[in-house]
Copies of this chain bind each other. A is one copy, B any other.
Amino acid sequence: MEHHENDRKIVGLAPSRNLSFYGRDIISVRQFARDDLAYIFGVASEMRSIVRRLGATDLLKGHILANLFYEPSTRTSSSFIAAMARLGGSIIPIHGVQYSSVSKGESLPDTIRTLECYADVIVLRHPEVGASEVAARYASKPIISAGDGVGEHPTQGLLDVFTILSELGRLDGLHVAMVGDLKNGRTVHSLTRLLRLYDVHFSYVSPDILRLPDEVKDEMTEAGRTFEETERVEDVIADADVLYVTRVQKERFADLREYEAVKDYYEITPELMARAKEQMAVMHPLPRVGEIHYDVDDDPRAAYFRQMENGMYIRMALLAAVLGKA
């Protein structure tokens, strides 16, 4: 895999030494200030160099992660498993819980309190909004949310911002265009909320019925961020430093005719990319089902697989941080 030149740039970031993540839960993008992000990105950047030079470290040897997934997410669970393994730690994989004894009518707090008897840190994916917060309230060990319902997906937000920083070397002064289902995509909400901490100008590109909720737009305005809305990628492609493309998720539509009408609304093609800046980044949380043409994959600006890889480094950083080993 080729690595992008800009990877190195963020090594220079001085992590704030007085921050402590030891024992903290990671349940919302709202819990981070710029200093926190600088610290996490600094550690993630170190993790990246460790993995590239050595493959792995023994930093979390003897530590156990319980990977508790109440709904399947191979991508996210694999990323956490890889992160823990590359830190030398062990994993209790608990996937497909809906079919298992954990769900014999047991409450989430009881399950969490049981698992923390065995593990040192718990990663939780849950279909219900707020589940991570409930878990964190009852747990004495750190909880890291791997997404709860249409709510938060904080580690996705962090890896997205880390990727922008890695690709472009900075965050302030960028023009970030978000494309696709901006109404239902928790990824988009988490990312835009994190980016409000920086001097970023936004373009929100979506079909009319899939616009960013007013609530999120209001937060941006309050934070002093500027944005415009459009239905056409063509309007923003020439100016964007980041084109963040998302899938229109069938499972979010009650009316399937609405889904059919918008599902193929956007496709990023080489022709479109020809009109984009020479230095910019196309991102996607993956899986994609047609939003980005395969012929874009070889474009050096196609950052989505580096984005995946960064997910592992961010999760390594978070695991090490909450276990006091960063």
Contact status B96-A85, CB under 8 Å: no
Q: Is the C-beta of A120 less than 8 angstroms from some C-beta in chain B?
A: yes
A104 close to B (CB within 8 Å)? yes
Known interface pairs A96-B96, A288-B110; A308-B117 also in contact (CB < 8 Å): yes
B62 touches A74 (CB 8 A): no
Question: A197 interface residue, CB < 8 Å from B?
Answer: no
Would A72 and B86 count as touching, CB distance under 8 A? no
The verdict on A85 contacting B64 (CB below 8 Å), with A106-B289, A287-B106, A312-B118 known, is: yes
A114 interface residue per 8 A CB criterion: yes
B81 pairs with A309, CB closer than 8 A: no
A173 to B78 CA separation, bound complex (whole angstroms):
48
Which residues from B are CB-within-8-Å of A76? Answer: 101
User: 1/0 per residue A121-140: CB within 8 Å of B?
Assistant: 00000000000000000001
Q: Indicate whether A33 reaches chain B with its CB closer than 8 angstroms.
A: no
Complex contact A117–B81 (CB within 8 A) = no
Contacts of A78 in B (CB 8 A): 66, 92, 94, 115, 118
The residue of chain B having its C-beta at the shortest distance from the C-beta of A290 within the complex is B105
Option from B99, B106, B117, B305 in Cβ contact (under 8 Å) with A113: B305
A97 adjacent to chain B (CB < 8 Å)? yes
CA distance A76 to B79 in the complex (A): 23
Interface residues in A, total, Cβ within 8 A: 57
| Cα-based distance from A63 to B62 in the complex (angstroms) | 15
Interface assignment of A56: CB less than 8 Å from any CB of chain B: yes
Indicate whether A286 reaches chain B with its CB closer than 8 angstroms: yes
Q: A74-B102, A308-B114, A312-B117 are in contact. Are A92 and B97 (CB under 8 A)?
A: no
Contact B287 A110 (CB under 8 A): yes
Q: Is A1 an interface residue (CB 8 A)?
A: yes
Residues from chain B with Cβ under 8 Å of A79 in the complex: 118
Q: Report the separation of the CA atoms of residues A79 and B76 in the bound assembly, to the nearest whole angstrom.
A: 23
Contact B100 A72 (CB under 8 A): yes
Whether A237 is near chain B, meaning CB under 8 Å from some CB there, is no
Contact A82–B308 (Cβ < 8 Å): no
CB within 8 Å for A62 and B72 given contacts A96-B99, A106-B288, A118-B78: no
Closest Cβ–Cβ distance, residue A152 to chain B (whole Å) = 18
Query: How far is B312's CA from A102's CA once the two chains are assembled, in angstroms?
Result: 17
Can you show 23 pairs from A to B with CB atoms below 8 A apart? A55-B63, A55-B120, A64-B85, A66-B78, A72-B99, A75-B102, A78-B92, A78-B94, A78-B118, A79-B118, A81-B92, A82-B118, A96-B99, A104-B287, A104-B289, A106-B287, A106-B288, A109-B294, A110-B286, A110-B287, A110-B288, A117-B305, A117-B311
18 other contacts beyond A55-B63, A74-B100, with CB at 8 A cut-off? Answer: A54-B62, A55-B62, A56-B61, A56-B64, A62-B86, A66-B78, A72-B99, A74-B102, A75-B101, A78-B115, A78-B118, A81-B92, A85-B92, A106-B288, A109-B294, A110-B286, A111-B287, A114-B308
